[in-house]
Amino acid sequence: MRVKCVLCDKVDKIDDHILLAKRLRNRPIHTYMCEVCHDRIATRTNERKELGTLPTEHTNEKESDWV
């Protein structure tokens, strides 16, 4: 079946029997993302995840108030 990438409008052909094709047939076609866009988003998500795992240290400027 032919699918269109939601992000870059690239038209791809995917095998009818793969899980993705079955999923797309049951849902609107615009949920498809081509490999390039998928990778780009996956990379960005991973980067964000790595940033999220870093300890967030809030330096409280008013800390001296409680001394």
Residue ranges in contact with Zn ion by CB under 5 A: 5, 7-8, 10, 34, 37
Q: Give whichever of 8 and 29 is closer to Zn ion, judged by the CB atom.
A: 8
User: Following DSSP, what letter does each residue of 20-46 receive, concatenated?
Assistant: HHHHHHHS-GGG---HHHHHHHHHHHH
- The 8-class DSSP code of residue 18 comes to S
User: Minimum CB separation from Zn ion for residue 12, in Å?
Assistant: 8
What CA–CA distance (Å, rounded) separates 66 from 49?
A: 35
Q: Smallest gap, in angstroms, from Cβ of residue 27 to Zn ion?
A: 17
Q: By C-beta, is 18 or 36 nearer to Zn ion?
A: 36
